C-alpha cells in the first residue's frame, strides 16, 4: 500500500533541487510555434469549409439534374375505365 504523503514528499524533494536553467530565447520559440500552429489550424479550417461548400454545391447540382423527389415512371400502363 502506498502511504498518503508519498507523492507529496516526492514533489517536495523535486522542488528542493536546483532549478534547471531556462534558455533565453524560450519565449520567442514558443511564440513562433504558437503562430505556426494557429496558421495550420486556420488553413485546415478554411480547407474544410471549402470542401464542405464544394460538396453542398455538387449535391445541389446532382439533385437538380436527377430530381430524386420525382416518382419514377411506372413500368405498366394504368388501366383505363370507361371505354
More confident residue, 77 or 18: 18
- State how far the alpha carbon of 62 is from the alpha carbons of 6, 12, 52, in Å: 66, 67, 15
Cα separation, 33 vs 41, whole angstroms: 12
Which cell numbers hold the place of 50? 471549402
Q: What is the pLDDT of residues 54-63, one digit of tens each?
A: 999 999 999 9
pLDDT tens-digit readout, 2-49: 566 889 999 899 889 998 899 999 999 999 999 999 999 999 999 999
Q: In this predicted structure, what is the pLDDT of residue 16?
A: 92
Q: What is the DSSP letter of 25?
A: T
Amino acid at each position: 500500500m502506498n502511504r498518503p504523503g508519498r507523492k507529496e514528499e516526492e514533489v517536495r524533494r523535486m522542488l528542493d533541487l536546483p532549478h534547471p536553467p531556462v534558455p533565453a530565447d524560450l519565449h520567442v520559440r514558443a511564440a513562433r510555434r504558437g503562430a505556426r500552429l494557429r496558421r495550420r489550424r486556420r488553413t485546415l479550417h478554411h480547407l474544410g469549409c471549402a470542401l464542405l461548400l464544394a460538396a453542398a454545391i455538387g449535391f445541389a447540382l446532382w439533385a437538380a439534374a436527377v430530381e430524386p423527389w420525382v416518382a419514377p415512371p411506372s413500368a405498366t400502363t394504368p388501366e383505363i375505365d370507361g371505354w
